[in-house]
Amino acid sequence: MSTDATSLRIVAPADGSLLATVPVTSAAQVAEHAADAERVFASGVWSGLAPRERAAALLRLADLMERDGATLARLDSEDAGKPITECLEGDIPGAIESIRYFAEAADKLYGAVAPAPGNVLAFTQREPFGVVAAILPWNYPLAMAAWKIGPALASGNCLILKPADATPRSALHVASLAVEAGIPAGVLRVLPGTGPVTGAALASDPIIGALSFTGSTRTGRSILKAAADSNLKRVSLEMGGKSPQIVFADGLEFGEALVDGLITAAFMTQGQNCTAGSRILVHESIHDDVVARVAEAAAALVVGAPSDPATQIGPIINAAAADRIMAAVRHAVDAGATAAAGGREVDVLAGGRYIAPTVLTDIPAGDPILTTELFGPVTTVQKFSTREEAIALANATDYGLAASVYTKNLDDALATARGVQAGVVSVGNYSEGDLSSPFGGWKQSGFGGAEKGLRAFEQWTREKAIWIELQGQG
């Protein structure tokens, strides 16, 4: 992606070719859209519908997304450089499932009755903010859009969606499908643009009541500050990660599932994933065996063009990211680390940057690669001798998004899951849970309402307590 003052050039990470040019939404245009969205909300054409009516429209949207699934997968694969098979089998079905899940939950949200005196009826209800916004990342363009669209619209809001600079096309397509599904015009708006212009305007807009952001910690800080300096809009942040995968001495009992889990966590989407298992912590008794197996599996992954169904590892999003990743790998190797696999770039298509899946061992203590989020196909391996040491290593980062634990010992599993400072911990596998399970980070990985499950509605609604005193009763 490159930009001038008025347009974005969408460039394919695969080969640097120009895919499309889309306009940048200016700050003035953001203000106009927010004001118009406020009018749409107040009209009641969406907010005034019964929850089941909104659900029906969202289910129609999901059906249309399924109809156009191949197109949506192609757009995300081209824009983000994601392997097409990953998009077809994971991202797009997941996005469709998200819309259906939140649609079906729209009429299943209840308030509560408070234990008030006998002459009082006291209860709570949740109400939409009105106009809300979401700022999306480029690594899962449509999957992350669906996490926002589903609960925001199901609860009656008008949503302004800003896709990432590099990957706007699938969200724009879904916006057209929303109109086809019968969702009133103006309820879902997709505004392409840059972070410093379009994103900053959304964060500062005085009409927008809530904003959900998925992306870098640096950008999240600026959004939080802008929200504080404007109208104190509710902000939910899901940001970076440096997720540990902890393998205890009995970890090899998982067999092939262990290596499959470690590899998937480390290298899915070229490691450009906020929950990527970029740190493998292994008990010293099986360290060498695990390193050998992981290195062999990493070396066997197919690096190729994202349009090839056989490709498992596609290109890095852009040259700047590839340079940063390779600089970190070279720094670690120069300091004494060993590349058990990868550690180099691969020639695939001219104009694209492809990095071989990389497994680093013997990393010197204190090397930045152990604590810095690389967002690339690189994982490090460290030894530990005790559970306490494993937990300490896992927590030795500013991030706290996810972790995986491999052991069949219940004491080790539960104590480690409780001890690791992360919002999501999986045991015996790598998983973010399904749609019913909350998702969110700790520490500098973010905060706010959960992204999934019924708690997701808390991001997009506010609670009101109503106290009715009945006359003539005592």
- Give the bridge partners for 7, in sequence order: 23
pLDDT band with cut points at 50, 70 and 90 for residue 4 = low
Please give the average per-residue pLDDT across 201-228, as a whole number: 96
Mean of pLDDT over the chain? 96
Distance CA 411, CA 249 (A): 13
- Look up residue 46 and give its DSSP letter: T
Q: Is the pLDDT of residue 449 over 90?
A: no
Find, among 79, 202, 100, 200, the residue nearest to 142 by Cα: 79
Active site residue 127: no
Distance CA 221, CA 218 (A): 5
Question: Each residue of 37-56: b (16+ CB within 10 Å) or e?
Answer: bbebbeeeebbebebeebbb
352-382: pLDDT as tens digits:
999 999 999 999 999 999 999 999 999 999 9
Phi, psi of 229 (to 5 degrees): -80, -15
What's the token pair of residue 60? 């129609």
Catalytic residue among 274, 373, 451, 458: 274
SS3 readout for 244-300: EEEECCCHHHHCHHHHHHHHHHHHHHHHCCCCCCCEEEEECCCHHHHHHHHHHHHHH
Catalytic residue among 86, 87, 158, 238: 238
Q: Is the pLDDT of residue 261 over 90?
A: yes
Residues 6+ away with beta carbon under 8 Å from 67: none
Tokens 């929950």 sit at which residue?
275
123-136: pLDDT as tens digits:
999 999 999 999 99
Please give the average per-residue pLDDT across 395-407, as a whole number: 97
Active site residue 238: yes
Calculate ∠ Cα 10-14-20, nearest 5°: 20
pLDDT band with cut points at 50, 70 and 90 for residue 473 = low
- Domains 2-239+445-466 and 244-427 belong to one CATH topology: no
What's the token pair of residue 378? 């690189």
Please give the average per-residue pLDDT across 97-112, as a whole number: 95
* Architecture category of domain 2-239+445-466 in CATH: 3-Layer(aba) Sandwich (3.40)
Cβ(388)–Cβ(236) under 8 Å? no
Predicted pLDDT of residue 157: 98
458-471: pLDDT as tens digits:
999 999 999 999 98
- Give the bridge partners for 384, in sequence order: 283
Domain positions in the chain are 2-239+445-466, 244-427
| Count of C-beta atoms within a 10 Å radius of residue 347 | 8
Distance CA 90, CA 370 (A): 29
Distance CA 382, CA 318 (A): 29
CATH hierarchy code of domain 244-427? 3.40.309.10
Q: Pairing mode, if any, of strands 354-355 and 345-346? A: antiparallel
Residues 6+ away with beta carbon under 8 Å from 228: none
pLDDT band with cut points at 50, 70 and 90 for residue 226 = very high
Distance CA 390, CA 394 (A): 6
Please give the average per-residue pLDDT across 182-195, as a whole number: 97
Please give the average per-residue pLDDT across 419-430, as a whole number: 96
Cβ(343)–Cβ(356) under 8 Å? yes
Residues 6+ away with beta carbon under 8 Å from 445: 217, 238, 239, 240, 241, 274, 399, 400, 401, 422, 423
Please give the average per-residue pLDDT across 17-39, as a whole number: 97
| Count of C-beta atoms within a 10 Å radius of residue 187 | 23
Please give the average per-residue pLDDT across 278-292, as a whole number: 98
Residues 6+ away with beta carbon under 8 Å from 29: 191
Predicted pLDDT of residue 2: 56
Find, among 147, 125, 119, 120, the residue nearest to 135 by Cα: 147
Please give the average per-residue pLDDT across 79-85, as a whole number: 98
Cβ(280)–Cβ(393) under 8 Å? no
Q: Is the pLDDT of residue 37 over 90?
A: yes
